[in-house]
Amino acid sequence: MEGKTFRERFLNRKTLLILAAIVIIIGAGSGAALLKASENPSFCANCHIIKPYYESWSEGSLLASKHAQQDLACLECHHSSIPGKAQEGFNYITGNYTLPLESDMGDRDFCLECHSEEGAGASWDEIKAATDFEESNPHDSHNGEQECNVCHSMHQPSQAMCSQCHIFDWMDELDESWESSF
């Protein structure tokens, strides 16, 4: 054994395989812990570009906060695959993003999965019936059926599209989560 070099004694195939297995196990464990941590909304606030979105969820009067008050976490609406999350992290590290961040929210059917009296999803007709004010119905627009995010915004004040041309009495009844440009 005296004539063997360090490489011959310690860097043989068996040792390298053991080291590789240890690195894989530690990497997989760290990855699993990171994925579990990302389920907590406060994890998102660690990223400075996400912090304002987290704050609008955790406090204030915007729709995101109203969802938080119903115990809905970010990932219940913002679905992302593991590769998608990895890409988001890479984009953050490399600065490959634009502000405000693009929304990954679904279409109207996505919103209607939850929004109904029974909580089992509502039809567009149910939404129209619930907002049929005496002078107008914002969900029965002469512009046709609109996507929810045309008016409703999670992390910014919502804005009634109708107010671009019309002034209706029901606009005065909107809460502080709505921008008052009317």
| Model pLDDT for residues 13-42, shown as the tens digit of each residue | 777 788 888 888 887 777 777 667 767 777
| Residue 103 in domain | no
| Residue 101 in domain | no
- With tokens 């008050």, the residue in question is 69
* Together in a domain, 89 and 20: yes
| Residue 102 in domain | no
pLDDT at 128: 82
pLDDT at 43: 77
pLDDT at 65: 93
- What's the CATH number where 146 sits? 1.10.1130.10
Task: Read off the pLDDT of residues 125-172 as tens digits, 9 standing for 90 and up.
Answer: 888 888 888 888 888 888 888 888 889 998 999 999 988 899 888 888
Q: Which domain holds residue 41?
A: 6-94
Q: What is the CA radius of gyration of the chain?
A: 25
d(CA 138, CA 148): 11
Give the total number of structural domains in the chain: 2
* Together in a domain, 17 and 59: yes
8 Å CB contact between 181 and 90: no
| Residue 121 in domain | yes
Please indicate whether residue 72 or residue 11 has the higher confidence score (pLDDT): 72
* Together in a domain, 124 and 84: no
Range 118-128 average pLDDT: 70
* Together in a domain, 37 and 87: yes
| Residue 71 in domain | yes
| Residue 68 in domain | yes
Q: Could you tell me the two tokens for 17? A: 């395989």
Task: Read off the pLDDT of residues 51-66 as tens digits, 9 standing for 90 and up.
Answer: 888 899 999 899 999 9
